[in-house]
């Protein structure tokens, strides 16, 4: 699994991360909407929780890749 992660170029991963964080572009990105729901305590539906995780997944992968690269 780590070999697959190491082969993904940072440029592609960054573009995918930005697109997923901003999608859909209108009226409000899902990540922002779900984080507001989380702050307000209204993030209860499994679909909303999955949607938040789905949109944050590329960011999580980017963070893992960055940490692995820093550790050598």
Give me the pLDDT at residue 38, please. Answer: 93
Tell me the pTM: 0.86
Give the model's pLDDT for residue 28: 87
In total, the chain counts a number of residues equal to 72
Residues 9-23 pLDDT 10s? 999 999 999 999 999
For the stretch 33-67, pLDDT in tens is: 999 999 999 999 999 999 999 999 999 999 999 99
Question: What does residue 29 show for φ and ψ, rounded to 5 degrees?
Answer: -55, 145
List, in order, residues 6 or more apart from 8 with CB less than 8 Å away: 61, 65
Exposed, middle or buried by CB within 10 Å (0-12, 13-18, 19+), for 9? exposed
pLDDT greater than 80 at residue 1: no
């Amino acid at each position: 699994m780590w070999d697959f992660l190491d082969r993904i170029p940072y440029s592609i991963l960054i573009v995918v991360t930005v697109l997923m964080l901003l999608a859909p572009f209108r009226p409000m990105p899902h990540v922002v909407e779900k984080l507001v729901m989380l702050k307000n305590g209204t993030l209860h539906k499994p679909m909303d929780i999955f949607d938040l995780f789905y949109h944050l997944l590329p960011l999580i992968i980017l963070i893992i890749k960055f940490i692995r690269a820093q550790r050598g």
